[in-house]
């Protein structure tokens, strides 16, 4: 068995997706193990350009199994939209896409919370993508209000949990924003039951699946998101993401122990970029920085935000 991991060593946007795409032909399974639709990468395949966010790069290759593992937080509507976009370009996504039943789910109230809190922080804002990623991870750690992908195909669970959660969120959001339009539990229940039905064929126990494939000697490729300097434990805290975006996150995010990783590839680009707040010691705020941004097309794949550019900081 050969398992390779591709990890960014800066603040993300190091072209991990391109490297994963180059390596996919050498592997049978590609695993995304952290983050959500806050991270993205651009891949050129078969003469077409694909902008992927939640989907692993393996979805573009026939015969390669793509796994969205337990460490990912998923906005089901965003995932289905991304699947539809890829399929509209002639790529069929069928049973080769597997989604962990243990991955946690993003709801509209997570995004609403994030928007309000970022505004309240003012100049101290972290600079998030406003996609609700951090708040879904916070829910995961808090447990009480967490909903997992496996719950989407269990309507009884949604009907039991969401009314209490939505009532709490409405009260919280109204306290900070008197103009907050209350979420309706019934509408969210109906919406997410339908989303679950559309994703059901992909939902499975990916941890058990990966261990079975390891025992069978199949070749795995772990696709990192963001970069090591954004790791919640080892990055430039508090200006970090909400998950372990260094190699340390592979085990917890997929269920596969590090001993199975035979090759770890760290990606660095020739200059430094960063999106959002936080330190960037070599940042160039002059025409040179703008030139690097324009020539390198340093704008976010997901948000389109301009990246802060500077010299390589080694």
Output the CA–CA distances (angstroms, integers) from residue 165 to 109, 171, 210, 219, 222, in the order listed: 10, 10, 33, 41, 34
Q: So what's the pLDDT on residue 288?
A: 96
Q: So what's the pLDDT on residue 250?
A: 95
Distance between CA atoms of residues 164 and 185, nearest Å: 9
Distance between CA atoms of residues 173 and 177, nearest Å: 6
294 is catalytic: no
**Extended strands (E) in the chain:** 3-8, 29-32, 41-45, 48-52, 65-68, 73-74, 97-100, 104-105, 203-204, 220-223, 263-267, 271-274, 308-311
124 is catalytic: no
* Catalytic choice (13, 96, 101, 231): 13
Q: What is the pLDDT along the chain (314 residues), one digit of tens a residue?
A: 689 999 999 998 898 888 988 899 899 999 999 999 987 777 888 888 888 899 998 899 899 999 999 999 999 999 999 999 999 999 999 999 999 999 999 999 999 999 888 787 776 666 677 889 999 999 999 999 999 999 999 999 999 999 999 999 999 999 998 889 999 999 999 999 999 999 999 999 999 999 999 999 999 999 988 899 999 999 999 999 889 999 999 999 999 998 999 999 999 999 999 988 899 999 999 999 999 999 999 987 777 889 999 999 87
* Catalytic choice (27, 41, 202, 260): 41
One fold for 2-103+202-267 and 104-198: no
Question: Each residue of 186-219: pLDDT tens digit?
Answer: 999 999 999 999 999 999 999 999 999 999 999 9
- The tokens describing 82, both together, are 């991304």
| 104-198 CATH | 1.10.300.10
Start-to-end C-alpha separation, the chain: 34
Q: So what's the pLDDT on residue 123?
A: 67
Q: Where are the domains of the chain?
A: 2-103+202-267, 104-198, 272-310
Q: CATH homologous superfamily for 2-103+202-267?
A: Adenylosuccinate Synthetase, subunit A, domain 1 (3.40.440.10)
Structure-token match 């195909």, residue found: 153
Question: Each residue of 23-53: pLDDT tens digit?
Answer: 998 999 999 999 999 877 778 888 888 888 9
């Amino acid at each position: 068995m050969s398992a390779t991991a591709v990890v960014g060593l800066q603040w993300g946007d190091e072209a991990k997706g391109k490297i994963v795409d180059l390596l996919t032909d050498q592997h049978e399974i590609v695993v995304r193990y952290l983050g959500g639709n806050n991270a993205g990468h651009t891949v050129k395949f078969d003469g077409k350009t694909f902008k992927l966010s939640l989907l692993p790069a393996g979805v573009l290759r026939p015969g390669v199994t793509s796994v969205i593992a337990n460490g990912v937080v998923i906005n089901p509507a965003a995932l289905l939209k991304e699947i539809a976009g890829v399929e509209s370009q002639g790529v069929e996504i069928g049973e080769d896409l597997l989604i962990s039943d243990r991955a946690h789910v993003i709801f509209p109230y997570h995004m609403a919370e994030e928007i309000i809190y970022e505004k309240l922080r003012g100049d101290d804002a972290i600079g998030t993508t406003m996609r609700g990623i951090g708040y879904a991870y916070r829910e995961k750690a808090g447990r009480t209000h967490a909903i997992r992908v496996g719950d989407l195909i269990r309507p009884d669970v949604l009907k039991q949990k969401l009314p209490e959660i939505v009532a709490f969120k409405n009260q919280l959001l109204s306290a900070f924003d008197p103009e907050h339009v209350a979420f309706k539990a019934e509408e969210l229940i109906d919406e997410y039951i339908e989303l679950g039905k559309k994703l059901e064929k992909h939902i499975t126990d990916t941890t058990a699946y990966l261990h079975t494939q390891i025992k069978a000697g199949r070749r795995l490729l772990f696709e990192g998101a963001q970069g090591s300097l954004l790791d919640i434990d080892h990055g430039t805290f508090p200006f970090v993401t909400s998950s372990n975006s260094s190699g340390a996150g592979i085990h917890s995010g997929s269920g596969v122990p590090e001993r199975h990783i035979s090759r770890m590839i760290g990606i660095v680009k020739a200059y430094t970029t960063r999106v959002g707040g936080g330190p960037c010691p070599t940042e160039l705020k002059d025409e040179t920085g703008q030139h690097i941004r324009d020539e390198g097309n340093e704008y976010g794949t997901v948000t389109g935000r301009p990246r802060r550019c500077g010299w390589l900081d080694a």
